[in-house]
Chains A and B, each alone.
Chain A
Amino acid sequence: MITLSHCLVLSAVLFFTGMTGFLLRRNMLVSLMCIELMMNGAFVALVSYNRFNPLTQDGQVMTLIGIVIAAAEAAVGLAIAVNLYKFTGEVRTDRASEMKG
Chain B
Amino acid sequence: MNYTADTFWPLAIILALPLVGAILNGFLLDWIGMVLGERARKALTSRPVVHGVAIAAVGVSFLIAALSIFGALMAFAKTGHHGEHAEAPFFVMTMWKWIQVGGVDLDAKLLLDPLSSVMILVVTGVSSIIHIYSTGYMAHDPAYRRFFTYLNLFVFFMNCLVLGDNLAVMFVGWEGVGLCSYLLIGFWYDDRAKALAGKKAFITNRVGDFGFILGMFLIGTLTGHLDFAGIKENLGALTGAGEISILGIVSISTITLTCLLLFLGATGKSAQIPLFVWLPDAMAGPTPVSALIHAATMVTAGVYMVARLNFLFLASPPAMTVVAIVGAVTAITAALIGFAQNDIKKVLAYSTVSQLGYMFLAVGVGAYTVAIFHLMTHAFFKACLFLGSGSVIHGMHARQDIREMGGLRKKMPHTHWTFAVSVAAISGLPLLSGFFSKDEILWRAFANGNDYAPWAPNLVYTVGLITAAMTAFYMGRVYFMTFWGKFRGPAELWDKVHESPYSMTVPLMVLAGLAVVGGYIGTPAWFPLPNWFEHWLHPVLSEVHVREAMHHNLTMEFGLMGASIALAFCGLFLGYYLYGNGPHPLVGKVTGAVPWLYKWVAGKLWVDELYGLFIYRPLGWFAALCHRVGDRFLIDKIMVEGSGWLASSGGWMASKLHGGRVQRYVGAMALGMAVILYFVATPRTEVEIEHQGNNTVRFVAPYKDAPYSYSWDFDGDSLEAKGDERWARYEQVWTTSSSVQHRYPGPGTYQVVMRVRTPWKFERKRVIEVQVGGPGEED
User: Which residues from chain A sit less than 8 Å from chain B, CB to CB?
Assistant: 19, 22-24, 26, 31, 93-94, 96-101
Contacts and interface: CB of A to CB of B under 8 A. Distances in A.
Interface string B484-521: 00000000000000000000000000000000000000
Nearest to B664: A23
B658 interface: yes
B666 A22 contact: yes
B666 A19 contact: yes
Contacts of B662: 31, 93, 96
B494 to A, nearest CB: 86
Nearest to B667: A23
Contacts, number: 34
Given A19-B670, A23-B670, A99 B660 contact: yes
Contacts of A23: 663, 666-667, 670
B661 interface: yes
Given A19-B670, A23-B670, A98 B663 contact: no
A100 B168 CA distance: 61
B655 interface: yes
Contacts of A98: 660
A101 B654 contact: yes
Which 5 residue pairs across A and B have the least CB separation, nearest first?
Answer: A97-B660, A100-B660, A101-B658, A101-B655, A93-B662
Interface in B179-215: none
Interface residues on B, range: 10 to 19
Interface of B: 654-655, 657-663, 666-667, 670
Contacts of A99: 660
Where chain B touches its partner, the secondary structure class is helix
A97 B661 CA distance: 6
Given A19-B666, A19-B670, A101-B654, 6 more contacts: A23-B663, A23-B666, A24-B663, A31-B662, A96-B662, A97-B659
A22 B660 contact: no
A100 B660 CA distance: 4
A59 to B, nearest CB: 20
A57 B661 CA distance: 39
A96 to B, nearest CB: 7
Contacts of B667: 23
A100 B654 CA distance: 11
A23 to B, nearest CB: 5
Contacts of B661: 93-94, 97, 100
Given A19-B670, A101-B654, A26 B659 contact: no
A22 B668 CA distance: 12
B658 A26 contact: no
A95 B374 CA distance: 94
21 contacts: A19-B666, A22-B663, A22-B666, A23-B663, A23-B666, A23-B667, A24-B663, A26-B663, A31-B662, A93-B661, A93-B663, A94-B661, A97-B660, A97-B661, A98-B660, A100-B658, A100-B659, A100-B660, A101-B655, A101-B658, A101-B660
A96 B654 CA distance: 19
A87 B554 CA distance: 117
Contacts of B666: 19, 22-23
Contacts of B670: 19, 23
A23 B669 CA distance: 11
A32 to B, nearest CB: 11
A16 B661 CA distance: 20
A60 to B, nearest CB: 25
B680 to A, nearest CB: 16
B245 to A, nearest CB: 60
B759 to A, nearest CB: 14
B677 to A, nearest CB: 12
A19 to B, nearest CB: 6
Nearest to A97: B660
A33 B30 CA distance: 78
Nearest to A28: B662
B139 to A, nearest CB: 71
Contacts of B659: 97, 100
Nearest to B652: A101
A26 B664 CA distance: 11
B166 to A, nearest CB: 60
A89 B203 CA distance: 76
Residue in B659, B662, B667 with the greatest tally of chain A CB atoms within 10 Å:
B662
Contacts of A97: 659-661
Nearest to A38: B666
Nearest to A95: B660
A94 B662 CA distance: 8
Nearest to B673: A19
A98 B663 CA distance: 15
B647 to A, nearest CB: 14
Nearest to B659: A100
A96 B660 contact: yes
Residue in A22, A93, A99, A101 with the greatest tally of chain B CB atoms within 10 Å:
A101
A43 to B, nearest CB: 19
Contacts of A31: 662-663
A31 B657 CA distance: 20
Nearest to A19: B670
Contacts of B655: 100-101
Nearest to A26: B663
A97 B656 CA distance: 12
A44 B658 CA distance: 33
B650 to A, nearest CB: 12
A23 B658 CA distance: 15
A60 B289 CA distance: 93
Contacts of B657: 101
A23 B661 CA distance: 10
B316 to A, nearest CB: 70
